[in-house]
Amino acid sequence: MKLLIIADIEGVAGVCCREQAVSGNAEYQMARHLMTQEVNSVVEGAVKAGAGDITVIDSHGPMINLPMENLSPQAKLVQGKPRMLGMIDGIQYDDYDALMMIGAHSAAGEYGVLAHTINSRAFLKVEVNGHIMGEVDLYGSLAAEFGVPMLMVSGDDHLEAHVSEAFPDSDYVQVKKARGAYAAESLSVSTARELLSAAAGRSLLKKCQPKTSFGLEPPYRLTVSSISQAQSDLYALVPGVERIAPNQVSYEADSFKALVTLLNSLSAMSASLP
Ligand SMILES: [Zn+2]
């Protein structure tokens, strides 16, 4: 059993504000420690349930958050960027059986702690065929294209409500309740870790099929709402991207791989604007 674990930080118990998600802050050091321990709990539960080959993909910000020396010795670690498939890079190199997303968060445009999609400075909202898409939707759907089911997700209560509709067969571990965009009531660290470990093992024993978010099928019409008009000016320079409103562009593709690659390109391009 080969397992991929995408690790993000915003959906970790005890994390609720921006300072905790940005390196260089004292609060970030604690947050990355909490993130590492949640990942280790999932690895531990997965190993107990028979996962023999586990790869953790560090997928927040600069993608170098998990201190190597503190990660479970039973997991390999992918770090650094840019990577061809962003948060799920690695899935294209091997035959994986399952995906889990730990520390995940709501999409831009939805309620939730530190809600955003890929880049909070680049995208106000991302939609595919009329559904708001967050990272769980984009990368869970991309995994399905590789025949890999998303077994489990963890994060806050708003993301749980979204996942229960978008991926009804996936398990969910709620480690906190949102009290605002930058406020949360978290479970104790030990309770969150116990729940994550148990759910990881349980979800590996269930039969969950690969599935796109909301069961969407191609063609996929991507609509990106930018924060500023200038960003849409920039995004519309990419061949195939159509300008549809002052703050909106659109793009059609037959795969989530194409959508994710485009979104990561637009995100990187947005940094060139003053
Ligand atoms: Zn993140």
CATH code, 226 = 3.30.1360.130
CA of 122 relative to ligand 1 center, distance in Å: 14
Give tens-digit pLDDT for 203-241. 999 878 999 999 999 999 999 999 999 999 999 999 999
Which residue do the tokens 């969150």 mark? 192
| Centre of ligand 1 from the C-alpha of residue 80, in Å | 14
Ligand 1 centroid–CA 113 distance in Å is 11
Q: How far is the CA of 135 from the centre of ligand 1 (A)?
A: 9
Q: What six digits make up the tokens of 216?
A: 């969407």
Q: Is 147 helix (H, G, I), strand (E, B) or coil?
A: coil
Q: Which DSSP state fits 193? A: H
User: Does the residue 93 lie in any domain?
Assistant: yes
CA distance 81 to 164: 31
Distance separating the N- and C-terminal Cα atoms of the chain: 47
d(CA 267, CA 120): 9
Peptide bond into 219 cis (omega under 30): yes
Question: Could you report the average pLDDT of every consecutive run of 10 residues in the chain (274 residues)?
Answer: 97 97 95 98 97 96 95 97 95 96 98 97 98 98 98 98 98 98 98 98 92 98 98 98 98 98 97 94
- Domain's final residue, options 192, 212, 232: 212
Q: What is the pLDDT of residue 132?
A: 98
Q: Is residue 96 part of a domain?
A: yes
Cα–ligand 1 centroid distance for 138 (angstroms)? 14
Say if residues 137 and 107 touch (Cβ distance below 8 Å): yes
Same-domain check for residues 62 and 93:
yes
In terms of residue numbers, what domain contains 242? 215-270
Ligand 1 centroid to Cα of residue 114, in Å, is 9
| Residue 49 alpha carbon to ligand 1 centre in Å | 28
Among candidates 98, 93, 40, 88, which has minimal Cα distance to 68?
40
